Homo-oligomer: A and B are copies of this chain.
Amino acid sequence: MLETETTTRRERRIAARKAQLLDAAAQVFSHKGYEKATTKEIAELADVSEGTLFNYFATKRELLIGVAKAYADEVAADIESVQGETFEDMLAQLAANRFRRGRERRLFMLFLYESRLNADVHQYYVEEALHRIIDVLEQRLTALIDAGVMRPVDPALTARMMSATTMGFAALFELGVSMGTTSPETLGAAVTDIHLNGLRNQNGANQDV
């Protein structure tokens, strides 16, 4: 029906505007930090007036929450798409999508910081993104342990450890800590190697480190 179509078209336009504003907000927030970012700059980057921005998002904070929500949605979609992969590929894919691009790393740094200061951001980033990733890792680990492929370690803790390592690397990268000439692939492989096989020299097993 015409009415429905009109409404739909409007809704599409509204959604597009919101997305455009969220994009600009994500960019400015992740570069300058939430507090230093100004609604003026976000509006300019989105090529709308400041008044228009506030027609779509009632407060600056709602913009941040919107960015967090969009991020959580991306993560959810990503998790869906890796369900069929091997554990190693899944791990690589999740990490890559989260941290390979600068934009994602910067958003990660942003949420890492803002989650502590805002309950809504925490809700979207920690509960709906981070926890989902951890949960899917934990399930896979449990299965691998049950199958006898992995040692009977605590799967919850191990999933968190894997996330922690990846997050830590992203942070180090973002802080400008050099990784030598190592490519992301080599780095991923090396980390996986250590996680799977350990550091200990098996020829000289049980030596005290």
Q: Which residues of A contact B (CB under 8 A)?
A: 32-36, 86-88, 109, 112-113, 115-117, 122, 126, 130-131, 134, 144, 148-151, 153-154, 156-158, 160-161, 163-169, 171-172, 174-177, 179-180, 182, 187, 190-191, 193-204, 207-209
Question: Beyond A112-B112, A151-B202: 20 further Cβ-contacts under 8 Å?
Answer: A33-B113, A109-B113, A112-B113, A115-B175, A122-B176, A126-B176, A130-B175, A149-B201, A150-B200, A150-B201, A151-B201, A153-B193, A153-B194, A156-B179, A157-B182, A157-B190, A160-B177, A163-B168, A195-B198, A196-B200
A117 and B33 in contact, given A88-B209, A130-B175, A209-B144 (Cβ under 8 angstroms): yes
Q: How far is the CB of A108 from chain B (nearest CB, A)?
A: 10
- Tell me the interface secondary structure of chain A in the complex: helix
> Chain B contacts of A196 at CB under 8 A?
198-200, 209
**Most chain-B Cβ atoms within 10 A of its Cβ — which of A35, A130, A194?**
A194
Query: CB distance A209 to B161 under 8 Å?
Result: no
> Chain B contacts of A158 at CB under 8 A?
190, 194, 199
Q: How far is the CB of A148 from chain B (nearest CB, A)?
A: 6
Q: How far is the CB of A10 from chain B (nearest CB, A)?
A: 13
Identical copies in the complex: 4
Q: How far is the CA of A160 from the CA of B165 in the complex (A)?
A: 10
Q: How far is the CA of A131 from the CA of B175 in the complex (A)?
A: 11
Query: CB distance B153 to A199 under 8 Å?
Result: yes
Query: CB distance A198 to B208 under 8 Å?
Result: no
Q: How far is the CB of A56 from chain B (nearest CB, A)?
A: 16
Of B109, B157, B164, the residue contacting A180 (CB under 8 A) is B157
Q: How far is the CA of A35 from the CA of B113 in the complex (A)?
A: 12
A199 and B150 in contact, given A163-B172, A172-B160 (Cβ under 8 angstroms): yes
> Chain B contacts of A87 at CB under 8 A?
209
Query: CB distance A149 to B207 under 8 Å?
Result: yes
> Chain B contacts of A144 at CB under 8 A?
209
> Chain B contacts of A179 at CB under 8 A?
156-157, 160
